[in-house]
């Protein structure tokens, strides 16, 4: 399979960082310094920034805005929650679903994440679906089986047409925010495994077109060698997406 057929993507996951004025400044700094690369860029911000980030980046063709979660229901009495259609109405086009922090701290199961995926797609959002194993699971060598289960349980109910709207992010939990990255070989091995699963279920055309991102302590210093692997199509960036210089350096590591 060649790499050229699918999109390279660098997505920033701001997590629960940046108040309104800090977020505006970060968007401003990114816009001022971006060099129209041949990479799709997605800023996944807290909800309060979505609209402003969309308005301020709307004329950059390769840059899109995303949220970090949505509710599985369309609307209703769910105090404090935000729906997929609300996210869409801000101009955002993506939503991160199934991040390991949501699985761990908010008890999100594969089944719930699968419902959110469905609702997001029904509202014309592209899910950035996260999967990945803990250190314990990797050490017991069950990481491939676990990721396989996560992908199958949350995504394989989708039609081929809907599946083609998904971006996948492989994020080993032990590499998130720890400064410890998977080696490029470990990332490649898992990405290839995921692509094969997709191929088996949806065929090689869809498998070949699905962007699979790596996430977990990606920095300007290590992005290039990770992104160079055949099945790694970019990254989901946490800490390093909070500084415009670092984020742009990671984007530029594709050139």
Residues that bind ligand PGA (CB under 6 A): 13, 171, 176-177, 215-218, 236-240
Please report which helix (H) or strand (E) contains residue 128, including its range.
strand 126-131
Cβ atoms of 23 and 53 within 8 Å: the answer is yes
Nearer to ligand PGA, 94 or 202 (CB): 94
Hey, CA dihedral for 205, 13, 110, 112, is it positive or negative? negative
Q: How far is the CB of 236 from ligand PGA (least distance, A)?
A: 5
Query: How many Å apart are CA 131 and CA 96, to the nearest integer?
Result: 11
Q: What is the closest distance, in whole angstroms, from the C-beta atom of residue 137 to ligand PGA in the complex?
A: 17
Task: Point out the catalytic residue in the list 101, 108, 133, 171.
Answer: 171
Least distance (Å) from ligand PGA to the CB of residue 64? 17
Residue nearest to ligand PGA (CB): 238
Residue 99 annotated as catalytic: yes
Contacts of 71 (CB under 8 A, 6+ apart): 78, 81, 82, 83, 84, 116, 119
> Which lies closer to ligand PGA via its Cβ, residue 167 or residue 207?
167
Task: Give the DSSP per-residue string, 29-88.
Answer: HHHHH----SSEEEEE--GGGHHHHHHHHTT-TTEEEEES---SSSSSS-TT---HHHHH
Q: How far is the CB of 142 from ligand PGA (least distance, A)?
A: 21
Our CA angle for 149, 203, 100, nearest 5°, is 30
Question: Which residue has tokens 């679903």?
Answer: 97
Of 23 and 215, which CB lies nearer to ligand PGA in the complex structure? 215
CB of 235 to ligand PGA, least distance (A): 8
Instruction: Count the alpha carbons within 13 Å of 118 in the hemisphere toward its beta carbon.
Output: 15
Catalytic residue among 99, 126, 143, 191: 99
User: Which residue lies nearer to ligand PGA by CB, 150 or 202?
Assistant: 150
Question: 161 catalytic, yes or no?
Answer: no
Write the CB contacts of 136 (distance below 8 Å, at least 6 apart in sequence). Answer: none
Please identify, using beta-carbon distances, which residue of 211 and 217 lies nearer to ligand PGA: 217
Q: What positions carry a catalytic annotation? A: 99, 171
């Amino acid at each position: 399979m060649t790499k050229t057929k699918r999109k390279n993507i660098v997505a920033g996951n701001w997590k629960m960082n940046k108040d309104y004025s800090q977020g505006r400044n970060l968007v401003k700094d990114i816009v001022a310094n971006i060099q129209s690369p041949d990479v799709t860029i997605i800023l996944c911000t807290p909800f309060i920034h979505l609209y402003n980030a969309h308005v301020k980046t709307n004329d950059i063709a390769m840059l899109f805005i995303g949220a970090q979660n949505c509710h599985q229901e369309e609307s209703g009495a769910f105090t404090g929650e935000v729906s997929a259609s609300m996210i869409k109405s801000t101009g955002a086009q993506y939503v991160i679903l199934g991040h390991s922090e949501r699985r761990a701290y908010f008890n999100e199961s594969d089944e719930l994440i699968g419902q959110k995926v469905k609702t997001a797609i029904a509202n014309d959002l592209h899910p950035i679906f996260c999967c990945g194993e803990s250190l314990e699971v990797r050490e017991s060598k069950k990481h491939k089986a676990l990721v396989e289960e996560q992908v199958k349980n949350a995504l394989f109910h989708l039609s081929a047409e809907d599946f083609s709207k998904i971006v996948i992010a492989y994020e080993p939990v032990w590499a998130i925010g720890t400064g410890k990255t998977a080696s490029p070989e470990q990332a490649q091995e898992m990405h290839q495994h995921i692509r094969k699963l997709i191929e088996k279920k949806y065929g090689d055309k869809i498998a070949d077109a699905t962007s699979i991102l790596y996430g977990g302590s990606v920095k300007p210093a290590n992005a290039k060698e990770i992104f160079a692997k055949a099945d790694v199509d970019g990254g989901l960036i946490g800490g390093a997406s909070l500084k415009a210089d670092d984020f742009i350096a990671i984007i530029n590591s594709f050139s």
